[in-house]
Amino acid sequence: MTPILEIKKLYKSFGGLEALKDISINIDRDEIIGLIGPNGAGKTTLFNCVAGIEKPTGGQIIFSGEGSTISIGGKKPEAVTALGIARTFQNIRLFDNLTVIDNVKIGRHCRTKSLFFGAVVRNKFQQAEEKAITESAHQFLKFVGLKGRGQEIARSMAYGDQRRLEIARALATEPRLLMLDEPAAGMNPQESRDLMDLIRRIRDSGITVLLIEHDMKVVMGVCERVVVINHGEWLAEGLPQDVQNNPKVIEAYLGTGAANAA
């Protein structure tokens, strides 16, 4: 079966700084794959390249969504979202001043159509669409465990809830591939466990999950495969336990000598 996302020899440089060098990763359908690496390794840059926010300097990104296979390197971010790749951000980016339900409704944007005419006239099509948007938005809130909190203002929510809301908004775009950028950052152990459960439920609903995470408990607990990058280069790949014991990985995180000590 073709992988859902193929990253082939991806390069990205900012001026003289090479943030990504010759990265090749295959992501299989319906797996939960972890992307780890020390700070500044290029994990978020890789996300941005896939999401279309950064333009890669070289290489290919090939996405096989619903039947078709499309190269997305350099595509616009809104087009990438429409193809079926959704993401969350390392530092949460919600629509802070809007209500929780509106945040999720905006996620439905790329799957709906009404514009000025529909808004003013409220024809049958627009009414039906608006009803469907509201219903599905409530379903997504329920899915992430924020049922009944639609009228709160996003900014006033607790940190962990904001993370969940961001995931709900991403799910509302109906992705085939969901990219989570450090979803467990700042969460307490209970919240992390709930998050791991949520990630598994997302996968079970048929969505492939790519995860950047520093919290090793989460990575070990939920990921089926882990890719390690360091200084923008591919370092190791494999089962979480194997990667954890890989001397090269330990060296990347803790420095030379640490591997021998372990």
Task: Catalog residues that contact other proteins under the rule CB under 8 A.
Answer: 51, 53, 76-78, 81-82, 86-87, 89-91, 93-98, 102, 105-107, 109-112, 114-116, 118-120, 122, 126, 129-130, 133, 153, 155, 169-170, 172-173
CB of residue 118 vs other proteins: minimum separation in angstroms? Answer: 7
Nearer to other proteins, 98 or 250 (CB): 98
Dihedral sign, Cα of residue 150, residue 152, residue 156, residue 158: negative
Nearer to other proteins, 48 or 230 (CB): 48
Nearer to other proteins, 18 or 102 (CB): 102
The neighbour count for residue 15, using CB atoms within 10 Å, is 5
Nearer to other proteins, 73 or 107 (CB): 107
CB of residue 135 vs other proteins: minimum separation in angstroms? Answer: 15
CB of residue 250 vs other proteins: minimum separation in angstroms? Answer: 29
CB of residue 50 vs other proteins: minimum separation in angstroms? Answer: 11
DSSP state of 29: T
CB of residue 138 vs other proteins: minimum separation in angstroms? Answer: 15
Nearer to other proteins, 54 or 215 (CB): 54
CB of residue 86 vs other proteins: minimum separation in angstroms? Answer: 7
Nearer to other proteins, 62 or 110 (CB): 110
Q: Where in 65-117 does DSSP place strands (E)? A: 69-71, 85-87
**Dihedral (Cα; 216, 183, 221, 149), 10-degree rounding:** 140
Nearest to 225 by CA among 209, 211, 239: 239
Tokens 């990104």: give the residue: 61
Nearest to 57 by CA among 113, 116, 15: 15
Nearer to other proteins, 106 or 250 (CB): 106
Q: How far is CA 258 from CA 150, 229, 249, 254, 255, in A?
A: 49, 18, 10, 6, 6
List the structure tokens of 50: 């896939």
Q: Give residue 53's region: left, alpha or beta (phi > 0; psi -120 to 50).
A: alpha
To the nearest 10 degrees (0 to 180), the angle between helices 159-172 and 100-107 is 30
CB 166 within 8 A of CB 157: no
CB of residue 21 vs other proteins: minimum separation in angstroms? Answer: 21
